[in-house]
């Protein structure tokens, strides 16, 4: 029996995955979490075989959680759950120890296959994710010129970053918490496939995202 835990802040996603897996005899869900803090506090006494991890949690960064858990529990297999199909998100989660990457609109067949595959110590990427990575690696023009879709708030944060405002200053200007600013900054870095703020500004300028 494969023991599975799920961490996602959207209740509909949690319920949807539970429903898809409820009649699968080889898989049992042992825990669900809506916050990264809950997951980190509870998992020590309740380690699953496979963790389905949302990479964009309201209280923490899925990338950091993935890195921390794979270091602490080397036998734990992690599948990233995301709404984002940009290569930056995919590559960074795999770099940080994830064994698989699924979009949240995945079907039951892919979900079960992903869980059983990573539980055997293998990596699982569905065909659509494989295609995205392949196009990126061979320099497919449609991928190279791809302009990521940013939310209105992400655009505001990006412009303020480009004007050299600190996280604290951005938080005060937009009337949001510094943690929320950090979350937006992390999302921007992932969407643009860069590693730091300097890369963020460079690529944002190249793609005409500033202004």
**Per-residue pLDDT tens over the stretch 66-104:** 999 999 999 999 999 988 787 878 888 998 999 999 998
User: Measured between alpha carbons, how far is 175 from 173 in angstroms, rounded to an integer?
Assistant: 6
181-186: list long-range contacts, CB under 8 Å, 24+ apart.
Answer: 181/157, 182/61, 183/56, 183/58, 183/61, 184/153, 184/154, 184/157, 185/157, 185/161, 186/61, 186/63
Give me the pLDDT at residue 141, please: 46
Fold annotation for 147-206 = Arc Repressor Mutant, subunit A (1.10.10)
Q: What is the pLDDT of residues 108-147, one digit of tens each?
A: 999 999 999 999 999 999 988 888 888 777 765 444 456 7
Tell me: the pLDDT tens digits for 20-33?
999 999 999 999 99
What is the pLDDT at residue 37? 93
Residue 118: C-alpha distances to residues 79, 126, 168 (Å): 8, 12, 40
Q: State which H helix or E strand residue 127 sits in.
A: helix 127-137
State residue 76's pLDDT score.
97
- What does each C-alpha distance from 35 to 32, 72, 147 come to in angstroms? 9, 19, 30
Fold of 2-137: Rossmann fold (3.40.50)
pTM for the whole thing? 0.71
Provide the percentage of residues in the chain whose pLDDT is more than 90: 58
Average pLDDT, the chain: 89
Joined together, the tokens standing for residue 106 give 């995945």
Residues of the chain within CATH 1.10.10.10 domain(s) are 147-206
Q: Once rounded to an integer, what is the mean pLDDT over residues 36-52?
A: 95
pLDDT of residue 58: 82
User: pLDDT value at position 72?
Assistant: 95
């Amino acid at each position: 029996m494969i023991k599975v835990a799920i961490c996602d802040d959207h209740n509909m996603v949690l319920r949807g995955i539970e429903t898809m897996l409820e009649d699968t005899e080889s898989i049992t869900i042992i825990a669900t979490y809506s916050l990264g803090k809950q997951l980190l506090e509870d998992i020590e006494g309740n380690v699953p075989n496979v963790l389905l991890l949302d990479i964009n949690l309201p209280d923490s960064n899925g990338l950091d959680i993935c890195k921390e858990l794979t270091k602490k529990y080397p036998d734990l297999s992690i599948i990233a759950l995301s709404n984002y199909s940009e290569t930056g998100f995919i590559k960074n989660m795999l770099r940080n120890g994830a064994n698989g990457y699924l979009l949240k609109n995945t079907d039951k067949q892919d979900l079960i296959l992903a869980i059983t595959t990573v539980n055997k110590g293998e990596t699982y990427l569905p065909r659509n994710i494989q295609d995205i990575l392949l196009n990126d690696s061979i320099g497919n023009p449609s991928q190279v010129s791809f302009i990521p879709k940013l939310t209105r708030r992400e655009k505001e944060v990006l412009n303020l970053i480009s004007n050299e405002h600190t996280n604290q200053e951005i938080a005060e200007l937009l009337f949001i918490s510094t943690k929320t600013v950090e979350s937006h900054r992390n999302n921007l870095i992932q969407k643009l496939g860069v590693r730091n703020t300097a890369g963020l500004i460079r690529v944002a300028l190249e793609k005409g995202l500033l202004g």
